[in-house]
A and B are shown apart, each in its own frame.
Chain A
Amino acid sequence: MADLFDRFAPLMAQRDALLGDGGINPFQVKMDELLSPTEAMIDGRRTILAGTNNYLGLTFSPEALKAAHEALEACGTGTTGSRVANGTYGSHKDLENTLAEFFGKEHAMVFSTGFLANLGILSTLMGPEDYILMDADCHASIYDGVRASQAQIIRFRHNDAADLEKRLARLEGKPGNKLIVIEGIYSMLGDKAPIAEIVAVKKKFTNVYLLSDEAHSLGVLGRYGRGLPEEAGVEDDVDFIVGTFSKSVGTVGGFCVSNHPHFDMLRLVCRAYVFTASLPPSVVVSAIANLKLIKQGGALRARLMRNAEHLHRGLSDLGLKLGSDVSSVIAVVAPDPQVAVAFWRGLIEAGVYVNLALPPATPFGYSLLRASLCAAHTEGQIEEIIAVFATVAARLGLIERPAAKRAAG
């Protein structure tokens, strides 16, 4: 008999083959107690968190905690309404002003998540007569947003400005607007977009706009944490910056900033903004407090990069295959999904949490143990992460048995 879920049958079979043997399910990890931004109790074990995208460790910042407590008492647990109805409080406006000032842009719009920001902005800005040129490795929320726009969707090769140029040239003379969509740092491997080259290509054509999703680079790159456009010195050439509060900002929510004179029109027509409830004020003020810390967060960024260099060096010295150069995201490439699952279980059982990422969600069909660094990781924690990787990788036969000193660590 036909069943609604028959369409998932191949995936269910794959899932059962991969995870069905009773070990810990990597996609159903439960944090029983948070000990700090970098440690939690999982399965009764003290576990180092090395896969939470909590790049600056701000989830417990005293400034945000204090503001959130006060807002909870003053405004309650939720707004119970959309931004265009009863869901805009003073703090929502304050957050939008903070963002505009932070990025030096005229306009800012806050969404309930980063996913909704991408979905809403992309689906609303572009229409059936337009062209979207997107990096092939973009996030699922970007894919969903561009599909919903009904624009012609053209993918260019990941981080390949020359391929983008070829594709723009093929569209020359066609009516319709063109929007290039990239990410500052790509989430799976942690590699950066060649944004200066992309801007140079953009400038060779007319009617071409650029949107960058700074989800993983906000707070991480640039002297003041404004992401890749700041680091690369091309902020004026990025027409729309999308981002999330769910990573370096340490809470939840999404946003878009822009200098476009009519940007505010989106507040009326963007369905992902209009038809969903706004963020609770406690979340909103947490974001404001942490954005201030991010702006002055040069020392945090320096610690984050030191930690990234430390982990990258340690893992590559072990002989593991890494997905990219030093970055706040460091992904170890496993030979196949089975080995990746065994690797992940070995790590969690030894008290290290990283993300397991499997194809088709990964570039090149890679099976990944994806670590993300935190400014709050100590050198000792990084050493421990490296030692645990060494032990598990050796047990799986992926590297030579590590030197006795390290195995004992």
Chain B
Amino acid sequence: MSGAPAETVARLIPLLEPFNKTGAHLSAATRFTEDLNFDSLIVMEFVAAVEDAFDISVPLNILPDVATVGQLAAAIEKILGEEKS
């Protein structure tokens, strides 16, 4: 998942802002669990916000493989690509 799409990362950061309780610096490298202390409930709320903003459904299946903001951006790109097809 090299080269996280910068534009998508840039859209994700303001969505993440309200969930940033640790005051961590937000970038493609920010880790949800270690840096932001996300638990399963916060993940659910944040994913719902992302789904609304991008007008997509994020399957539960991909969440275990998404540890950083960059990885989430890449996953969103992939979903957007598939929904168009």
Contacts and interface: CB of A to CB of B under 8 A. Distances in A.
Interface string B41-58: 100100010000001111
Given A154-B60, A155-B60, A167-B57, A360 B48 contact: no
Interface of A is mostly: mixed
26 contacts: A136-B44, A146-B60, A147-B60, A150-B61, A152-B59, A152-B61, A153-B59, A153-B60, A153-B61, A154-B57, A154-B58, A154-B59, A155-B44, A155-B60, A157-B48, A167-B57, A170-B55, A170-B56, A170-B57, A170-B83, A171-B57, A359-B41, A360-B39, A360-B40, A360-B41, A365-B41
Interface residues of A, number: 15
Contacts of A170: 55-57, 83
Interface in B62-85: 83
A157 B56 CA distance: 13
Interface string A135-155: 010000000001100101111
Q: Which A-B residue pairs are the 7 nearest by beta carbons? A: A153-B60, A152-B59, A154-B57, A167-B57, A360-B40, A365-B41, A360-B41
B35 to A, nearest CB: 16
A147 B40 CA distance: 16
Contacts of B39: 360
A182 B53 CA distance: 25
Interface residues of B, number: 13
Contacts of A146: 60
Given A152-B59, A154-B58, A170-B55, 5 more contacts: A153-B61, A154-B59, A155-B44, A157-B48, A360-B40
A1 B81 CA distance: 45
Interface of A: 136, 146-147, 150, 152-155, 157, 167, 170-171, 359-360, 365
B44 to A, nearest CB: 7
Interface of B: 39-41, 44, 48, 55-61, 83
B55 to A, nearest CB: 8
A155 B41 CA distance: 13
A305 B57 CA distance: 38
A234 B66 CA distance: 39
A152 B59 CA distance: 6
Contacts of A359: 41
A171 B59 CA distance: 12
B61 to A, nearest CB: 6
Nearest to A362: B41
A150 B62 CA distance: 11
A365 B42 CA distance: 9
Nearest to B79: A170
A136 B41 CA distance: 11
A338 B81 CA distance: 46
A229 B37 CA distance: 41
Contacts of B48: 157
A61 B60 CA distance: 43
Contacts of B41: 359-360, 365
A154 B48 CA distance: 11
Contacts of A136: 44
Contacts of A157: 48
Contacts of B56: 170
A350 B44 CA distance: 37
A293 to B, nearest CB: 40
Nearest to B48: A157
A207 to B, nearest CB: 17
Contacts of B57: 154, 167, 170-171
A157 B39 CA distance: 18
A251 B40 CA distance: 33
A32 B42 CA distance: 40
A147 B83 CA distance: 22
Contacts of B61: 150, 152-153
